[in-house]
Amino acid sequence: MCRLGKIAAAMAILCVIAVALAAAMFFYDRNFDNAYAVPALAVAEDELTAPEADGVFSRDSHERVEALPPLIPMYWGAGVFFDPAKYKIILPEGVRVTDISYNFFRYIFEITLEGIDLPPRPFPLMTMGILPMGITQDGDRIIIRTRRGAFARYGPGYVQIIDPREAYHTIVVIDPGHGGIDTGAPSANPGAPSESEINLAITLTLLEIFDEPGVLLFPIRTTDVFIGNSYRYRLANKIGDYFISIHCNADIASRLSRGTLTLYGQAPGSRELAYTLQTALVDTLESQDRGIHYGGQFRILNGSQIPVALLELLFISNPQEATRLADPDTQRLIAQTLADVIAELPPAR
């Protein structure tokens, strides 16, 4: 009887844990939009494009501006303040930002400072309430954690967290298909890169070569990590104006299938985006044109609320086309074609 009681108690505990996990997942999913929303920032255009002069962010000069909240001292005595009106970290005159690194997946900005005497102990995590960022310090490095969609600009005397829509007229979300444990289709050639590796290589090359003022490329991933499909399109819906998913095609029934195919979603503008990309890729790759097709059966396409196209570049199941896909020169050619098309897309704002 005692043994049965212990079993029953253990089962009750497991049930409580299961209910708690289910509730946590429910509220996480329900609050997705709010959790990853970045409020628009009231930032003057000249502040985004031109460095600001040393000394303009002194405490006295700031307090002379009416109707602005006061600066928040991040650490007393260090001369570092936070300006909640513009999401700016204000640095003492003469301090220079020497390094800033981005982690697109986690959205952590690590900033190394010179000429400032920060305390050896970490100063407290600053959770800014409704503001989209928290700040910690480790040695001479300030670590800023922001919600997805934010990025940083900096100049003499400041680091500023920006909503991309305030600085770019068009944001294109680039999705390297698959990743992590989901390797996608295997290559027809033993030892050659898988689909997920090729998709990522093309994306990284695209990010490297793209340089169009006013257009931001926002990658879903920049490393070999697994990301669910629902996360991909929901993130694109939150921050993007266009959504391009990069894939390689495969036919398990025949190694002879070849060519380029592009699928599109139901959101207005998707068919036009797919046609433009398909035409350019076929011309560049000199591949068989397999046309554009509605792909409503795919979650990424039917879940997207912005113009979306899913590229099936070439057949990785075809030995000849798999060789081309694994070639860095071909990957760069594809990336350049995508860059050219994206640069000509109609501005969203």
200 pLDDT band (50/70/90 cuts)? Answer: very high
- Asked if 196 and 182 touch (Cβ cutoff 8 Å), the reply is yes
Tokens at 222, concatenated? 């920049």
- pTM equals 0.66
| Chain segment 219-228, per-residue pLDDT in tens | 888 889 998 8
Highest mean pLDDT among 69-83, 130-144, 311-325: 311-325
Averaged confidence pLDDT in the chain: 76
- Asked if 252 and 209 touch (Cβ cutoff 8 Å), the reply is no
> Does residue 197 carry a pLDDT above 70?
yes
* Residue 241 CA to its chain's centroid (Å): 13
Query: Strand (E) positions, the chain?
Result: 72-75, 80-83, 88-90, 96-103, 108-114, 126-127, 133-138, 141-146, 151-155, 158-162, 170-176, 215-219, 242-249, 260-264, 289-294, 308-315
> Does residue 149 carry a pLDDT above 60?
no
**Higher pLDDT residue, 294 or 213?**
294
Determine the residue type at 330: T
CA–CA separation, 83 and 62 (whole Å): 9
- Asked if 238 and 148 touch (Cβ cutoff 8 Å), the reply is yes
- Asked if 169 and 347 touch (Cβ cutoff 8 Å), the reply is yes
Determine the residue type at 5: G
> Does residue 68 carry a pLDDT above 70?
no
**Higher pLDDT residue, 164 or 228?**
228
Least confident span in 31-35, 103-107, 260-264, 324-328: 31-35
CA–CA separation, 140 and 123 (whole Å): 12
> Does residue 275 carry a pLDDT above 90?
yes
Least confident span in 3-7, 42-46, 129-133: 42-46
**Higher pLDDT residue, 158 or 28?**
158
- Which DSSP string corresponds to 81-103? EEETTTTEEE--TT-EEEEEEEE
